[in-house]
């Protein structure tokens, strides 16, 4: 399940590139989340979810904010694919453990450990090399910094989403289905006015490539991939699942090289290695901190 999740989520960037051929990033993000939300809500109501998963007002509000963060994550990341390569966008959007580590340090009022300080240094150096991605193929040349900014924005939003969901699940023991039914729905709702304001209509019915990409993102990457990540926590620790996400940029890079002939330059590969090290150090630091609290 965990291996399949990596493959399906790693392929999301490939699906998104096809989806962007017929619609803007906000429209693609909204359609992806909206289709996934409809399926999840159907299952949720069929199982009598509303009657069994009643939460307090504050926790419902927290999950609504988490949904808004999820919307920002997908909108930022999918938009970044218009300005930078699949491999770079996917690599940068996977650095959320660094952001959650920084947030934990502030909320828990503790000094960062040596390993996390090293993670920050590696992350900063890697980010600098990846942004200066000479030799990396991209849809629109000369916009590497903008693409990197949008991907990192999506990453920071995912960190907020993960922290809010983690808090909700630890407080009341809410199940995976109840969480995604709320967050996917709120994410889709938040994106509707933004998509309309940006004048981004859905693809025409004749744009079969774009619709195939959107449906693949919604049904394969979102419903199967992301849900499998959450479900795999039954058998693996959060640290193991976190480390497994290091495979996502690798899957995306290999698929992009095969389908779009996107090559990575030497500086980018060095930056990617530094970012991998930073993510791994950040995840290990968070696991160590959790074990200490227990």
Per-residue tens of pLDDT for the chain, all 294 residues: 878 888 888 899 899 999 999 999 999 999 999 999 999 999 988 887 655 556 677 788 889 999 999 999 999 999 999 888 888 888 888 888 777 777 877 777 767 678 778 888 888 888 777 766 554 555 555 577 888 889 989 989 988 888 888 787 776 667 778 888 899 999 999 999 999 999 999 999 999 999 999 999 999 998 888 778 767 767 766 666 766 777 788 888 888 888 888 776 777 788 888 888 888 887 777 666 655 554
Question: Given this model, what pLDDT does residue 92 score?
Answer: 84
Residue 144, both tokens: 């590497």
Question: Given this model, what pLDDT does residue 102 score?
Answer: 79
Question: What is d(CA 94, CA 92) in angstroms, rounded to the nearest whole number?
Answer: 5
Question: Given this model, what pLDDT does residue 94 score?
Answer: 80
Residue 124, CA distances (Å) to 49, 127, 129 in order: 43, 5, 9
Question: What is d(CA 102, CA 104) in angstroms, rounded to the nearest whole number?
Answer: 5
The DSSP H or E segment spanning 119 is helix 114-131
For 149, other C-beta atoms within 10 Å of its C-beta total: 18
Sorted by where each begins, the domain ranges of the chain are 2-293
Question: Given this model, what pLDDT does residue 172 score?
Answer: 62
Residue 279, CA distances (Å) to 95, 113, 229 in order: 6, 14, 17
Which residues lie closer than 8 Å to 42 by C-beta, 6 or more apart?
Answer: none
Which residues lie closer than 8 Å to 213 by C-beta, 6 or more apart?
Answer: 15, 16, 17, 18, 19, 20, 21, 28
Question: Given this model, what pLDDT does residue 233 score?
Answer: 65
Question: Given this model, what pLDDT does residue 18 score?
Answer: 94
Q: Please name which of 184, 239, 212 lies closest in space to residue 11, comparing C-alpha atoms.
A: 212
Question: What is d(CA 219, CA 210) in angstroms, rounded to the nearest whole number?
Answer: 14
Residue 81, both tokens: 């694919």
**pTM score > 0.85 for this model?**
no
Question: Given this model, what pLDDT does residue 196 score?
Answer: 96
Instruction: Annotate 7-34 with b (16+ C-beta within 10 A) or e (fewer).
Output: bbbbbbbbbbbbbbebbbbbbbbbbbbb
């Amino acid at each position: 399940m965990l291996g399949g999740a990596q493959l399906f989520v790693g392929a999301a960037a490939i699906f998104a590139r096809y989806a962007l051929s017929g619609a803007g990033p906000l429209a693609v993000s909204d359609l992806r989340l909206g289709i996934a939300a409809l399926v999840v809500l159907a299952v949720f109501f069929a199982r009598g979810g509303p009657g069994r998963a009643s939460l307090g007002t504050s926790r419902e509000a927290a999950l609504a904010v988490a949904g808004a963060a999820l919307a920002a994550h997908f909108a930022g990341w999918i938009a970044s694919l218009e300005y930078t390569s699949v491999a770079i966008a996917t690599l940068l959007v996977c650095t959320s453990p660094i952001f959650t580590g920084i947030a934990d340090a502030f909320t828990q009022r503790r000094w960062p450990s040596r390993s996390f300080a090293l993670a920050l240094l590696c992350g900063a150096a890697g980010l600098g090399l990846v942004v200066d991605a000479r030799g990396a193929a991209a849809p629109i040349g000369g916009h590497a910094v903008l693409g990197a900014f949008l991907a990192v924005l999506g990453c920071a939003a995912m960190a907020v989403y993960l922290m809010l969901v983690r808090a909700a699940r630890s407080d009341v023991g809410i199940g995976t289905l109840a969480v995604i039914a709320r967050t996917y729905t709120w994410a889709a709702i938040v994106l509707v006015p933004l998509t309309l304001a940006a004048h981004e209509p859905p693809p025409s019915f004749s744009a079969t490539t774009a619709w195939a990409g959107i449906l693949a993102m919604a049904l394969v990457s979102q419903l199967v991939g992301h849900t499998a990540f959450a479900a795999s926590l039954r058998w693996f620790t959060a640290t193991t699942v976190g480390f497994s996400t290091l495979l996502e940029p690798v899957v995306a890079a290999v698929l992009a090289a095969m389908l779009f002939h996107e090559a990575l330059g030497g500086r980018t590969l060095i930056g990617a290695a530094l970012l991998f090290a930073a993510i791994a150090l950040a995840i290990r630091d968070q696991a160590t901190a959790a074990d200490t609290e227990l």
